[in-house]
Amino acid sequence: MAARQRRSSGKRPRSRVRWWVRGLLALAILAVVGLAGAVVAVAWVEASLPDIPTFEEYALRTPKVSRMLASDGTVLAEFFVERRTLMLPDRIPPLVEKAFLAAEDASFREHGGLSWGGIARAMIVNLWRGRISQGGSTISQQVVKQVLLDPERTWQRKFRELLLVRRLEARLTKDEILAMYLSEVYLGSGNYGVEEAARWWFGKDAAALTIGEAALLAGLVSGPEANHPVRNPTGARARRRYVLDRMTDLGWVSPEEAARALAAPLPSRSAPAPSLAPYFTDAVRREVTRIFGIGRLNREGLRIRTTLDPETQRAAEIAVQVTLSRLYQQGRTRTRDEEAGRSEPPEDEVLDPTRPLPDAPQVLPAQVVRCHGGEIEVEVAGRRARLEPRSLARRILAGHPDPYAICRIPGARLPVSVLDPQEDPPRVQAEDGPQAALVALDPRTRAVRALVGGEDFEMRPFNRAVQSRRPIGSTVKPFLYAAARMNGLSADTEVANTAVSFRGARGRRWTPRNFEGGYDGRLYSLPEAMVQSINVVAVKVLAEMGSGPLVDLLRSVGIDGAIPRDLSLALGSAEASPLALANAFADIAADGRHDTPYFIESVLDALGREVIRHEVRPSQVLPPAIARWVRQALREAVLRGTARAAASLPVPAWGKTGTTNRSREAWFAGSDGRLVVAILVGHDDRLPMPGATGGNTAVPLFADFVRSRIPGGSPDPGRPQ
């Protein structure tokens, strides 16, 4: 009995051992299977993860702001789909780094991308709430969220995030990760990244931010719209204080520095949008789009350095506005109703004045039918339309006592152009007078320093300085006499100012006339004929030489419009834009050297690499001696000839006026000794300007422009003509 008891007691321990062994074995198998499953799951998830880009790859593919800059760095225009400028890894401002690390991830430089304490806290909160509502939120994790993953909040996405953070830290340096973060973080008002927020709120680069400014931006991360400095200054101050307190606790700023930063006022408004030189910037935009395409311009963060000089541009814009208001006061305009009552053009009319100009606004007669509450309703081409009040600005600038006086004249008529025919009712703008265009460029390089294409780009975007092709009148004569000299005619040659007739192509006889209408019978040397702009002498010289040499010379100096091969060419029937005419006169200023006018000095990509740079490529088109001879004669034209309205300028100005038949165009092209300038004044539909000439219309504009650029100088709107 005792023996059986001993045997039975010996069997129980062995059975218990077998049970534990089996349990441990099962657990081991489960662990191995689970581990294998986890490895497979991780491998499967990792295989579907996006690649970690290098910083350069990130920089090239993320949308950025392209900026157009003046020659002095002034921002002229911005193009973007997302307002972002890259922060480069080697240019992170120390104050910006400290502020954002204090606010978001103080141990960023020490950890491997994950804050396990933060993750644990977030997991507890998420499990308690039953949903993903918090994250670990290191800067590395935020970069993964912003750059590599979609914004959904799920456990699967969180798992992918943790795996990607490990890869991110392995592939990129800490500076590169931080630069990505500082380029991506949204800081309100449509601004992505610190550079854009610094420009928006403080009008400066991120490198120039103070401690308080950097702290304010860092404080916006948690709620950029909720803590908006203008809409919620209390919240913005509280967040700034939090960041400064963290920086002080970490020993990154002193308590005294933090106190001074706290006392600084908040920004009261965001930086205004650029508005300088709209016609110039539109011309550059068109050129950049032609070279790169609209997609690259709007996304790739191009840095477009232009030739524009802001001070010269401001002087040009002021001079144009003063001249146009002066012309309005003088009444140098004519409605189409008045023009219809005039007789046929004289026989020496060299162009059809009714032909349409390329892309120019169509001017139509309109009748006022109703005025109410400051709005003017007109009838134009059988349709009712709304007159844009802003288009009456010229009347206001000219000191008109009541720009809306037309409302008190029953059935008053005025010329208008339609802004958008598709609108219902359409909007129209008043065409109270002529428009003006001005181009100023450096004759040594052909860099365009100023360009005005009209009175108001927003209302009248047609760029008359670049897009318009108008007959150039007597500004052709310097090239006529230069061509004559190049073809053997002596400078001492004298030509009689007497009547002469020529038989035209249709058998009609044509008798050229001088501007004043008579002939004094004198003998004129070529320089004197140029100074006094004697038409008959010019026609006789061209008749003797033939039109071929002049046509060739005009093409070689870049005249870009139609050039008739007949005697009308001596009176300026050739067509050119103000830009082309300015560049042609620059050939005279540059001793006969020709080059292409340009707007763009260079284009850099988002990483600062040069994409294109302008190259100067001159060619000799005029003998230097003849160019100097022409220049000397044109100096006399200013001192005692048709351009003498500029004689009192304290600079060695020279140039040539041009007036086409019935004063449809008034030109001046010349120089103040440094820049070459071309000016065109005229109606878009070529209506006459009664009494206007290049000498009394375009030259005073040139003089105003030059005076505005002299220290202490300004245009004189009351100066008599």
What the chain holds in terms of domains, given with CATH numbers, is 82-263 (1.10.3810.10), 334-342+355-432 (2.40.50.140), 470-576 (3.40.710.10)
334-356 mean pLDDT: 38
Residue 612 has pLDDT above 80, yes or no: yes
What does the pLDDT read at residue 124? 54
pLDDT higher than threshold 50 for residue 266: yes
Report the pLDDT value the prediction gives residue 396, as an integer from 0 to 100.
67
Owner of token pair 């541009």: 313
Residue 273: pLDDT band (50, 70, 90) is low
pLDDT, residue 364, reads 83
Q: Among 320, 407, 428, which residue's Cα sits nearest to residue 364? A: 428
When mean pLDDT is compared across 85-94, 117-126, 326-335, 429-438, the lowest value belongs to: 117-126
Q: For residue 376, is pLDDT > 60? A: yes
Query: pLDDT value at position 423?
Result: 81
Q: Say how far apart CA 680 and CA 655 lie, in whole Å.
A: 14
pTM for the whole thing? 0.84
Q: What is the DSSP letter of 692?
A: -
Of the candidates 526, 524, 522, 521, the one whose C-alpha atom is nearest the C-alpha of residue 488 is 526
In a 10 Å sphere around its CB, with 0-12 CB exposed, 13-18 middle and 19+ buried, how is residue 77 labelled? buried
Using alpha carbons only, give the angle 249, 255, 261 rounded to the nearest 5 degrees.
110
Look at residue 177 and give its three-state secondary structure.
helix
Tens of pLDDT, residue by residue over 646-686, are 999 999 999 999 999 889 999 999 999 999 999 999 998 88
Mean pLDDT of the region 395-412: 72
Give per-residue pLDDT as tens, 682-694.
998 888 888 899 9
pLDDT digits (tens, 9 = 90+) for 151-202: 565 556 666 677 788 888 999 999 999 999 999 999 999 999 999 999 999 9
Residue 348 has pLDDT above 60, yes or no: no
- For residues 532 and 524, the answer to whether their CB atoms sit within 8 Å is yes
- CB neighbour class for 637 (10 Å; exposed up to 12, middle 13-18, buried from 19): buried
Kindly tell me if the per-residue pLDDT of 338 is higher than 50.
no
496-505 confidence digits (pLDDT tens) = 999 999 886 6
pLDDT of 398 over the 70 cut: no
Q: What is the Cα–Cα distance from 217 to 227, expressed in whole angstroms?
A: 10
Q: Is the model's pLDDT at 373 over the cut of 60?
A: yes
Q: What is the mean pLDDT of residues 293-314?
A: 97
Work out the pLDDT band at 42, boundaries 50, 70, 90. Answer: low
Positions of E strands within 399-517: 413-418, 427-430, 435-441, 448-452, 470-471, 494-496, 502-503, 509-510
More confident residue, 509 or 297: 297
pLDDT at 85 over 50: yes
pLDDT band at 394 (very low <50, low <70, confident <90, very high): confident
Phi then psi dihedrals of residue 29, to 5 deg: -65, -45
* Angle in degrees, 0-180, between the axes of helices 699-709 and 310-330, rounded to the nearest 10: 140
369 pLDDT band (50/70/90 cuts)? confident
Per residue in 10-27, pLDDT (tens digit) is 555 666 667 777 777 777
| Least reliable range by pLDDT among 110-114, 589-593, 606-610 | 110-114
With contact defined as beta carbons under 8 Å apart, do 438 and 450 qualify?
A: yes
Choose between 604 and 146: higher pLDDT. Answer: 604
> 405-425 pLDDT, tens per residue?
777 777 788 888 887 777 878
What does the alpha-carbon distance between residue 382 and residue 422 come to, in Å, rounded to a whole number?
15
Label residue 328 by pLDDT band (50, 70, 90). Answer: confident
Which of 222-231, 418-427, 536-545 has the highest mean predicted lDDT (pLDDT)?
536-545
- The reported pLDDT for the residue numbered 625 is 97
Distance of CA 71 to the CA centre of its chain: 13
pLDDT of residue 718: 46
**Average pLDDT score, the chain:** 85
* CB contact at 8 A, 102 and 250: yes
pLDDT score of 346 more than 50: no
**Is 50 exceeded by the pLDDT of residue 441?**
yes
Q: Residue 337 — pLDDT band, cuts 50, 70, 90?
A: very low
